[in-house]
Amino acid sequence: MQKLLLGDEAIAQAAIDAGMSGVYAYPGTPSTEITEYVQASKLAEERNIHSDWAANEKTAMEAALGMAYAGKRSMTCMKHVGLNVAADNFMNAAITGVNGGMVVVVADDPSMHSSQNEQDSRFYGKFAMIPVLEPSNQQEAYDMTYGAFELSEKYKVPVMIRVTTRIAHSRAGVITKELKPQNNQSLPSDPRQFVLLPSIARKQYKVLLGNQDHFNAESENSAYNHYFEGEDKSVGIIACGLGYNYLREILPEGDCKYPVLKVTQYPLPEKQVKQIANETEKLLVIEEGYPMVEEMIKGFLEKEPVTGRLDGTLPRDGELNADIVAAALGIQTGSKESKVPDFVANRPPSMCPGCSHIDVYNALNEALAAFGQGRVFSDIGCYTLGALEPFNAINTCVDMGASVTMAKGAADAGLVPAVTVIGDSTFTHSGMTGLLDAVNENSPITVIISDNESTSMTGGQDSSALGRLEAICQGLGVDPEHIRVLNPIKRNHDDMVKVMQEEFDYDGPSVIIPRRECIQKAARRRKMEAKQKAKS
């Protein structure tokens, strides 16, 4: 059967077809659509495949590992910076190994379309010493995911699939495979495998190290890594993942005079790399993200020069495209097609008209006016746009949850009042533990949890805090008298300013919850209600 699928959707469909029993994820562009596809799938519903959102990437990774412990096939999905959150469990999962197959999908975002950095998750895969698959198109995204569960179960280790934005969010025809049954529940054959006491961890680590030769052999013999002969030996091209797709856009197979090594499975196929190095005068490495392969082959080849992103032949940052690859090969494309049409307007990010965050920031700016600038620590979400004109309302945005802990540190340094702005979903993702620290030390910070009742920036998914924010804060130890709930609308502006100023004067941790449904989510809800009413 052939389906027209996004790269993310191809991964999701492949996981369902491969017998997956659960996907665990926290929404993050460009990975969100994987879980949403499973959530919308009738087949997944019939098979009772778990697909609820997790509180954050770490809990998602841990839950996926738990399902794999029980013998079922599981998948966890996240964007690249989410892997930082889940890194502790990710690294240790490589040591414990898995029982049922476990696939870790990480979607990188070169050019930072919706992210705070460009980090390359292949390094994490190399760091953990597990197999990494990097599809070059949507069909490979499907095929590799389908096969990744078998690879995971063959060596009892998690397998990473790394995609980038263009594959995740572009669509192509995908041929699907047969539907496999789900695994039966079973416990690990080694009952101590998952107990990482030092004596056991050392044993498990040797198992992982012992598998490295197998992983290398799998990569050398992989159907996805391929060497293409070429007559002109002046340049050999090593094209990784989506970089191979860009190469074939300008030099289709059969039209390329240079030898090409396609790399989409890691560890790096060293024999094939040495072959192309020995047969050509110099190498060009085309890879999306960091110059990982370029650095690696410079490390074990005696031959120079190797060119790519390190020497400036390709740009050191940002996305690749066919024109950039053509320029690196000295090919004049002159393609007008790649230029952005004039009718495509530049749309800088801004808050939606009527957004509740606007009223919160207007009140916050007035409440803090007497204290001066530099006191507002923000987190990641729609409200981060408060850094822009006309609000200029926030002073930091570092990582998920950092707003609360940074405000605490600033308060410890004497910066009082110190204010946190964080969303309801981000609060449960990583802000709760920071608030617990503040409660434990009675730190004088004011935490504004701007509650729009969803994870709005990624499409309006329900947050783990929905309907329970006050109870969570009280459970963490915040004095109930200093948990203040507001309705952030213009006519309540003066009341909001008054409440904020009162809490700034409080010598301890306080929480203000401005609560109003995201206007985009409200519009979709009203539209759905009208449609249902029309049917009835």
Residue 244 in this model has a pLDDT that exceeds 80: yes
Domain boundary among 294, 329, 364: 329
Dist CA 197 CA 117 (whole Å):
35
pLDDT for 187: 87
Shared domain for 215 and 269, answered yes or no, is: no
Question: Quick one: pLDDT at residue 333?
Answer: 77
Query: Residue 301 — pLDDT band, cuts 50, 70, 90?
Result: low
How would residue 312 be classed by pLDDT, with cut points 50, 70 and 90? Answer: confident
Give the pLDDT score at 129: 94
pLDDT higher than threshold 60 for residue 272: yes
Question: Is the same domain home to 204 and 316?
Answer: no
Q: Above 70 in pLDDT, residue 90?
A: yes
Residue 486 has pLDDT above 70, yes or no: yes
Decide if pLDDT at 276 tops 80. Answer: yes
**Domain contains 474:** yes
If asked whether residues 371 and 409 sit together in one domain, one would say yes
Helix (H, G, I), strand (E, B) or coil at 386: helix
Confidence of residue 303 (pLDDT cuts 50, 70, 90): low
- Whether residues 363 and 295 fall in one domain: no
Together in a domain, 217 and 249:
no
Q: Report residue 335's pLDDT band, with 50, 70 and 90 as the boundaries.
A: low
Specify the DSSP element, H or E, that contains 402.
Answer: helix 402-412
Residue 84's pLDDT band, with cuts at 50, 70 and 90, is very high
Q: Taking 90 as the threshold, does the pLDDT of residue 307 lie above it?
A: no
Identify which has the larger pLDDT, 264 or 462: 264
User: How many structural domains are present in the chain?
Assistant: 3
Q: Write down the pLDDT at residue 339.
A: 65
Same domain membership, residue 407 and residue 287: no
pLDDT at 124 over 70: yes
Return the ∠ at Cα 216 (arms to 212 and 222), rounded to 5°: 140
Q: Is residue 350 part of a domain?
A: no
State the Cα–Cα distance between residues 36 and 349, nearest whole angstrom.
24
Q: What are the structure tokens assigned to 494, written together? A: 């003066």
Give the pLDDT band of residue 198 (cuts 50, 70, 90).
Answer: confident
Residues 21 and 130 in one domain: yes
- For residue 426, what pLDDT band results from cuts at 50, 70 and 90? very high
The per-residue pLDDT for 82 is: 95
CA 461 to chain centre: 16
Q: What is the pLDDT of residue 331?
A: 86
Q: Is the pLDDT of residue 336 over 70?
A: no
pLDDT score, position 304 = 62
Residue 532 lies in a domain: no
Domain housing 145: 2-221
Express each pLDDT in 390-423 by its tens digit.
999 998 887 888 899 989 988 988 889 999 999 9
Domain stop point among 159, 188, 221: 221
Alpha-carbon distance 319 to 245, whole Å?
A: 13
Residue 325: the pLDDT is 87
Contacts of 314 (CB under 8 A, 6+ apart): 284, 285, 286, 308, 320, 324, 325, 328
User: What pLDDT, on a 0 to 100 scale, did the predictor assign at position 241?
Assistant: 97
What average pLDDT score do residues 106-115 get? 91
Is 216 a residue whose pLDDT tops 60? yes
* pLDDT one-digit tens code per residue, 20-77: 999 999 999 999 999 999 999 999 999 999 998 988 898 899 889 989 998 999 999 9
Confidence at residue 334, expressed as pLDDT on a 0 to 100 scale: 66
Mean pLDDT of 159-172: 96
Burial label for 354, CB within 10 Å (0-12, 13-18, 19+), is: middle
Q: Among residues of the chain, what percentage have pLDDT more than 70?
A: 96
Residues 403 and 271 in one domain: no
For residues 398 and 497, membership in a common domain is answered with yes
User: Is residue 190 domain-shared with residue 251, that is, in the same domain?
Assistant: no
The two tokens of residue 415 are: 């910066």
DSSP states of 201-248: HHHHHHHHHHTHHHHHHHHHT-SSSEEE--S-TTEEEEEETHHHHHHH
Q: Does 166 share its domain with 59? A: yes
419, 497: one domain: yes
pLDDT digits (tens, 9 = 90+) for 339-397: 667 767 677 778 999 999 999 999 999 999 999 888 999 988 899 899 888 999 998 88
| Mean pLDDT of all residues belonging to the chain | 92
Assign residue 150 the CATH number of its domain.
Answer: 3.40.50.970
